């Protein structure tokens, strides 16, 4: 009977060394038996010791606590206190309106963040399945959650790997681990021990939870379950590195804190001065009025609407935003870290180079569409006279276990992508796999095995029986004694020994340096009596037919997008699980570089670096290959430590921690795992890097529109604050009351500011360098603009109020006309900072062809006028807000007072250009 193993010897205590142990050592350490497996009693004991094979995450906050936390903002807290003061003094209507505004802002934030973080739950689903085990000497089918360290697991093609396993037996085993390692093709597995330093992506004797068996069979012993698996370690990384803030939220926090100090100081001054000549209630009204006037209550709503419009525009360009602040964040990105597969490339293997008959050929066309041709010296090849090339293509079609299918008008490979590439290269020459299979039926085959590095098939031909072989160049060339020339005639290789030693190997090296995956093809004629094929049949005597070099080619749109990003001052870096040579070749083809150089580093090299070295390498490097999940995370952190705003793309489980840590995580909407999607801020519906560039462009436009909105809203707060403060210091009646201020700051501001969110993007938005991450929301020139417009607003409010009060003696009328004069000035100011008039002029003279969004600005102005008519003429509003009806002459007076804003705004635009 198997004895209970001690905690110290469990895999959780040494999670990185199982691949370095011999098979027998691993079995002995786990105290299990390959034939009998664990006993039921031992399983119960280990379940009690180590728990079920599930991922566990941090408990989420209850919804009510998340809602209450929305009020944990300095400006909202001040408004709540102001409402409390009004309630204590008996002004319940004022208090209710103030509290309503703060609650509305909190609800906006709550809805924005209400989608619960589901990354851990998605990770749990990634390893939830059923699996076959040996227990008590019997094969059993059990839920994977019941697995324990030491269980003997049987794997077959189509299975999901249920836990981390040390493989002890493997036959033709291939596992797709792309979700964990980023490796774009299935990994061939074996049982040989490795060095302890072997990186995760190269541990061929291990199978990791969440992987898929694409081919072959195996037996493995469970070495880690639940949170101790590599997938579980990723979930812990995600919990430890939660970054919910963005550059925009950080800037708003800093702005709020600075504004808070100003508001508290001015409100205290107003209250103290007011007490010197007013009663307590009037002094409190003045202090509350100043507080309410100084806080831009409508700004959070306007920001949310502006970001939401940006979301809509990005969705039209295949980018779905999951978290609103990510809209602006993407616009401020200084570095984009992208995986190779799918995002930058077609995710379809394509033959691009052929060497046959002693000649080089290029193959046009991209992906699995059978469109393109084979060229020699840029001229189409005559296949009737080029028998060597023809035989090379035939071999790729016949020695092939895959086929192509047309699904919804799109060609897809059913089987191995590399075999699909061979089929398409022959299709481009006019050859059909099905037709050739009928003419030369298969009789037997040797499936691909990693130990031999080749596949072979036996066929019936019109000239007898032939064996076709494909595999690695090293495996095929050493078995060849002849090669075909262009006429299809074999030549003894021993007569041209230097050819085999130099030319063919040189061609292999040339293709490899281009990042191409090279397959060699050969054939051998056998007797008509032979009905089977085995390894001894192809040990010698093969005729070399040629080489086919293939790659997952870059997307043409992605190449343009990379160039646009780099011209915009955004660094593009490739972080991938693929080999360094392949990744570096793709980077060169894409035009990804830094100062003309394409520096590449591997995960093994990164593992040896300290934090300072890694930060330097992260800045200088362009390609990072064969990286582990925690290394992706470290690279993102290293770039952020250098002050970079990092956008990170990914589609696998291994990308999730880095996606979560990045300033903006971008997941693939099509090929991406649920884990990556849940950890991301944005999804690409077409999995194309070009959509990132489009989203960056929209993000930059959104930020510019946000700044316009702030520069439009804050001068009103400034003018109101100056009015309340100076009126208090001069012992005058308040020209504007706290409730009227709320009308201006919420109802009117939202109506007139939202149209700015529809402003079209400037023509040169992608020709400008990224903003400095440390640039404040309010730069020096913007503050000057705000102060200048605030001064004008104060003059209008104070001047009109005093004039009308002294000439009519009606305080309510004076306040109503002062407010409407301010609105008239705001209309002129809105037109001055909008692109409406300049774009209309440019449209008329043919400078630009874009449609100008007239209705947004126009509707905003019409809406503002309509609201002010309600404000002045509806009796209920008159009673609540203490306003009075106006005559037509008084309306015209307000318009005339506000019109000088045209000149005033022109001066402000010189100080701080609006675009």
More confident position, 614 or 346: 614
CB atoms within 10 A of CB 909: 14
Phi/psi of residue 507, each to 5°?
Answer: -65, -40
Determine what percent of the chain is predicted with pLDDT higher than 90. Answer: 31
pLDDT tens digits for range 231-248 = 777 766 665 544 445 666
Per-residue pLDDT reduced to its tens digit, 433-443? 999 999 999 99
**Alpha-carbon distances of 753 from 345, 756, 905, rounded to whole Å:** 41, 6, 16
Quick check: 486 and 358 in contact, CB under 8 A? yes
What number of CA atoms fall less than 13 Å from residue 434's CA on the CB side? 3
Contact 354, 363 (CB under 8 A): yes
Q: What is the pLDDT of residue 89?
A: 60
339 given a catalytic annotation: yes
| Residue where the block lists tokens 């807290």 | 77
Take residue 228 and report the two structure tokens written for it: 């101790």
pLDDT tens-place string over residues 485-507: 888 889 876 544 444 455 788 88
CA dihedral 32, 36, 40, 46 (to 10 degrees): 10
How much is the average pLDDT of 216-221?
A: 91
Does residue 388 have a pLDDT over 60? yes
- Sort strands 480-484 and 571-576 into parallel, antiparallel or unpaired: unpaired
Least confident residue range of 583-597, 674-688, 801-815? 674-688
State the pLDDT confidence band at 133, using cuts at 50, 70 and 90. Answer: very high
Antiparallel, parallel or unpaired: β 517-526 and 542-551 = antiparallel
DSSP string, 6-67: PGGGSGGGSTT-GGGS-HHHHHHHHT--TTT-B-HHHHHHHHHHH--S----PPPPPHHHHH
Q: What is the pLDDT of residue 467?
A: 96
Q: Are 58 and 118 in contact (CB under 8 A)?
A: no
In this prediction, residue 673 has a pLDDT band, given cuts at 50, 70 and 90, of low
Tens-digit pLDDT profile for residues 882-900: 999 999 999 999 999 999 9
pLDDT at 9: 43
Please give the Cα distance from 111 to 100 (Å, whole number): 16
50: left (phi over 0), alpha (psi -120 to 50) or beta: alpha
What 367-370 contacts at long range (C-beta under 8 Å, 24+ apart), as own/partner pairs, is 367/411, 367/424, 367/553, 368/404, 368/411, 368/412, 368/413, 368/420, 368/424, 369/411, 369/424, 370/404, 370/411, 370/424, 370/427, 370/428
Tokens of 508: 């292999």
Element (H, E) at 336: strand 335-338
Tokens of 666: 């971008």
What's the pLDDT score for residue 458? 96
Asked if residue 659 has pLDDT above 70, the reply is yes
Compute the chain's Rg from CA coordinates: 35
> Where does 225-286 show beta strands of DSSP type E?
none
Average pLDDT score over residue span 609-637: 89
pLDDT in tens, 53-83: 887 655 666 777 777 777 766 656 666 766 6
Length of the chain: 915
> Which residues in 408-541 belong to E strands, given as ranges?
410-414, 442-449, 454-461, 464-471, 480-484, 490-492, 517-526
Q: What is the DSSP letter of 172?
A: E
pLDDT tens string 719-731 = 888 888 888 778 7
pLDDT at 550: 92
Residues 864, 756: Cα–Cα separation, whole Å: 14
Least confident of 219-228, 459-468, 683-692: 683-692
Residue 687 has pLDDT above 80, yes or no: no
Tokens of 437: 């299979």
Separation CA 70–CA 111 (nearest Å): 10
Output the pLDDT for position 11: 42
pLDDT digits (tens, 9 = 90+) for 736-795: 887 888 788 778 887 888 888 888 877 778 888 887 767 777 888 888 999 999 999 999
Distance CA 782, CA 246 (A): 22
On the question of pLDDT at 115 being above 50, the answer is: no
Rounded to 5 degrees, what are φ and ψ at 356? -150, 145
Task: Say what the pLDDT of residue 823 is.
Answer: 95
> What mean pLDDT do residues 517-536 have?
93
What kind and span of H or E run contains 222?
A: strand 212-224
Q: How confident is the model at residue 10 (pLDDT cuts 50, 70, 90)?
A: very low
Mean pLDDT, residues 175-192 taken together: 78
Active-site annotation holder among 159, 339, 416, 912: 339
């Amino acid at each position: 009977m198997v004895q209970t193993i001690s905690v110290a010897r469990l895999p959780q205590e040494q999670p990185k060394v199982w691949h370095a142990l011999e098979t027998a050592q691993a079995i002995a350490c786990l105290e299990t038996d390959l034939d009998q497996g664990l006993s039921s009693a031992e399983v119960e004991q280990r379940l009690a010791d180590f728990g079920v094979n599930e991922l566990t995450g941090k408990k989420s906050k209850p919804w009510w606590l998340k809602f209450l936390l929305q009020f944990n903002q300095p400006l909202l807290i001040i408004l709540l206190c102001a409402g409390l003061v009004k309630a204590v003094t008996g002004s319940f209507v004022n208090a209710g309106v103030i509290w309503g505004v703060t609650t509305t802002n909190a609800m906006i934030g709550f809805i924005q963040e209400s989608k619960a973080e589901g990354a851990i739950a998605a990770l749990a689903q990634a390893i939830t399945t059923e699996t076959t085990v040996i227990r008590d000497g019997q094969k059993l089918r059990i839920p994977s959650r019941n697995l324990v360290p030491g269980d003997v697991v049987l794997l077959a093609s189509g299975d999901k790997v249920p836990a981390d396993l040390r493989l002890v037996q493997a036959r033709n085993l291939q596992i797709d681990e792309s979700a964990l390692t980023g490796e774009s093709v299935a990994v061939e597995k074996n049982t040989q021990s490795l060095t302890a330093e072997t990186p995760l992506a190269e541990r061929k004797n291990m199978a990791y939870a969440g992987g898929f068996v694409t081919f072959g069979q195996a037996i493995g012993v469970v070495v880690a379950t639940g949170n101790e698996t590599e997938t579980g370690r990723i979930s812990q990384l995600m919990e430890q590195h939660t970054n919910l803030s963005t550059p925009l939220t950080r800037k708003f926090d800093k702005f709020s804190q600075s504004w808070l100090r100003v508001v508290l100081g001015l409100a205290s001054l107003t209250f103290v001065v007011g007490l010197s000549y007013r009663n307590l209630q009037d002094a409190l009204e003045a202090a509350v009025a100043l507080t309410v006037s100084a806080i831009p209550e409508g700004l959070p709503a306007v920001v949310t609407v502006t970001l939401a419009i940006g979301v809509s525009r990005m969705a039209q360009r295949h980018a779905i935003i999951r978290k609103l602040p990510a809209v602006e964040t993407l616009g401020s990105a200084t570095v984009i870290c992208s995986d190779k597969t799918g995002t930058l490339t077609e995710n379809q293997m394509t033959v691009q180079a052929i060497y046959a008959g002693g000649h080089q050929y290029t193959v046009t066309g991209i992906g699995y569409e059978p469109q393109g041709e084979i060229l020699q010296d840029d001229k189409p090849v005559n296949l009737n006279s080029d028998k060597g090339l023809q035989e090379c293509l035939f071999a790729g079609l016949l020695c092939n276990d895959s086929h192509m299918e047309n699904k919804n008008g799109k060609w897809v490979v059913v089987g191995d992508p590399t075999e699909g590439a061979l089929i398409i290269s022959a299709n481009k020459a006019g050859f059909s796999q099905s037709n050739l299979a009928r003419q030369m039926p298969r009789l037997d085959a040797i499936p691909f095995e990693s130990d031999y590095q080749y596949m072979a098939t036996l066929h019936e031909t019109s000239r007898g029986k032939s064996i076709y072989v494909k595999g690695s160049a090293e495996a095929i060339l050493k078995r060849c004694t002849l090669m075909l020339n262009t006429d299809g005639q074999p030549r003894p290789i021993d007569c041209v020994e230097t050819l085999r030693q130099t030319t063919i190997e040189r061609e292999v090296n040339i293709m490899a340096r281009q990042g191409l995956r090279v397959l060699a093809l050969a054939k051998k004629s056998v007797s008509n009596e032979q009905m089977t094929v085995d390894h001894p049949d192809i040990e010698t005597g093969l005729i070399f037919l040629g080489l086919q070099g293939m790659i997952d080619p870059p997307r043409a749109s992605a190449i343009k997008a990379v160039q646009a990003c780099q011209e915009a001052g955004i660094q593009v870096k490739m972080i991938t699980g693929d080999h360094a040579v392949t990744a570096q070749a793709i980077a060169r083809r894409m035009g990804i570089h830094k100062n003309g150089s394409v520096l590449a580093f591997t995960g093994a090299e990164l593992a040896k670096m300290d934090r300072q070295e890694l930060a330097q390498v992260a800045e200088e490097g362009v390609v990072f290959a064969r990286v582990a999940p925690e290394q992706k995370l470290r690279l993102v952190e290293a770039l952020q430590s250098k002050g970079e705003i990092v956008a990170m793309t990914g589609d696998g489980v291994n990308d999730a921690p880095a996606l979560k840590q990045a300033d903006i995580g971008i997941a693939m909407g099509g090929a991406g795992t649920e884990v990556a999607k849940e950890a991301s801020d944005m999804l690409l519906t077409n999995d194309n890097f070009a959509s990132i560039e489009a989203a960056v462009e929209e993000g930059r436009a959104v930020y510019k529109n946000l700044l316009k909105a702030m520069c439009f809203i804050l001068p009103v707060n400034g003018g109101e604050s100056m009015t309340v403060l100076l009126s208090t210091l001069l012992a005058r009646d308040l020209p504007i009351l706290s409730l009227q201020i709320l009308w201006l700051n919420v109802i009117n501001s939202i109506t007139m500011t939202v149209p700015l969110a529809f402003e079209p993007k400037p023509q040169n938005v992608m020709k400008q360098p990224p903003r400095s991450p440390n640039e404040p929301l309010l730069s020096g020139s913007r503050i000057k603009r705000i102060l200048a417009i605030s001064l004008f607003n104060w003059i209008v409010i104070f001047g009109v109020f005093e004039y009308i009060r002294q000439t009519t003696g009606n305080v309510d009328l004076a306040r109503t006309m002062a407010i409407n004069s301010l609105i008239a000035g705001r209309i002129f100011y809105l037109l001055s900072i909008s692109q409406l008039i300049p774009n209309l002029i440019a449209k008329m003279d043919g400078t630009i062809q874009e449609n100008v969004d007239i209705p947004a600005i126009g509707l905003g102005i019409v809406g503002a006028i309509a609201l002010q008519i309600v404000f002045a003429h509806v009796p209920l509003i008159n009673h609540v807000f203490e306003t009075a009806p106006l005559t037509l002459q008084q309306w015209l007076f307000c318009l005339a007072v506000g019109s000088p804003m045209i000149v005033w705004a022109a001066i402000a635009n010189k100080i701080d250009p609006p675009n």
